[in-house]
Amino acid sequence: MIINNKKKIVMGVIGHDIHSVSNILMHKALKDSDYDVLNLGVDNHPDLYKDAIIEFGADVLLISSLNGEWKFWLPILQKSLNPLKTKPLLYLGGNIFSLNKKESEIELYKIKSYGFKRVFDRNKNFDNFFYYLKKDLNENT
């Protein structure tokens, strides 16, 4: 068996969301940066992420969501991941927050309560994401 030291990432778009563009780009960017990536693509039930984490052993789980899909599915994801002994780092990306500042603060609080470490809202590129990914995985930047 070949053992490599590559960090493992499971990624996908949550719920009935089919927005595939950034998912495809992010997958490529992660592969180019030498991560082991399992991309579940679009339209995934939370249980599939749990199964993927058990099978693949992920260090990080990247969830993306557009048009408010996360609001319904993240609590279900939290329940689904609950039995896992070791949980991966959870990141959320997409168009996440409401325009209203107060509302968006409540949303951030909720997302963190579901176990998410970081939220990337409407980022124009992946620079910010990679900066924090490397930091959180204790990789030298």
Partner 1 sequence: MKTLSNFFHKSRKEILRNKYLRNLKYEDTLIYLNSLNKFKFSFNNLDFSERPLIQPRGGFSSIPKQQKLNIELEKAGADIIPLTIDSFTRLNDYEGAEKVLIDENKLNKEILNGYPLVNHGYEKTREILSKVNLPVSLRHGTADARILVEHALASGITDIEGGGLSYCLPYSRKIPVEKSLLYWGYVDELCSFMSTNKKLIMRESFGVLTATLVPPLIIIIVEVLELLMSAQKGIKAFMMTFAQTGSLVQDIVISNVLRVISKKYLSKYDFNLDVLKIGYHHWMGPFPHNFESSNALIIQGTLNAALIKADKVIIKTKFESHSIPTIEANCEATKSVKYMLDIFKIKDTFTNEEILIETNNLVEQAECVLDNILKNKNKIDIIDICDAVNNGWVDIPFSPHPQNKNKVKTYRDHYGMVRFSDYGNLPLTDYLKEKDLKILSNNKDLLKNNNIIQAINWMVN
Placement of tokens 């959180």 in the chain: 136
Sign of the dihedral defined by the CA atoms of residues 129, 135, 69, 86, in that order: positive
Of 16 and 87, which CB lies nearer to partner 1 in the complex structure? 16
Supply 116's token pair: 């998410």
For partner 1, the closer of residues 48 and 117 by Cβ is: 48
| Amino acid code (one letter) for 19 | H
Choose which of 1, 2, 3, 99 interacts with partner 1 (CB under 8 A): 99
Among 42, 110, 115, 117, binds partner 1 (CB under 8 A): 42
> Is 71 or 110 the residue whose CB approaches partner 1 more closely?
71
Secondary structure tally for the chain: helices H, strands E: 5, 5
- Cα separation, 115 vs 37, in Å, equals 21
3-state secondary structure of 78: helix
Binding mask of the shown chain, residues 107 to 126, with x at each position contacting partner 1 by CB under 8 A: ---------------x-xxx
The total number of residues shown for the chain amounts to: 141
- 98: contact with partner 1 by CB under 8 A: yes
Q: Of residues 56, 95, 120, 130, which one binds partner 1 by CB under 8 A?
A: 95
Residue 101 binding partner 1, by CB under 8 A: no
- Tell me how many degrees the CA angle 10-45-91 measures, rounded to the nearest 5: 40
From the CB of 107, what's the least distance to partner 1, in Å? 11
**Judged by CB under 8 A, how many residues of this single chain contact partner 1?**
24
> What angle separates helix 101-113 from helix 69-81, to the nearest 10 degrees?
20
Binding site for partner 1 (CB under 8 A): 15-18, 20-21, 23-25, 41-43, 67-69, 71-72, 95, 98-99, 122, 124-126
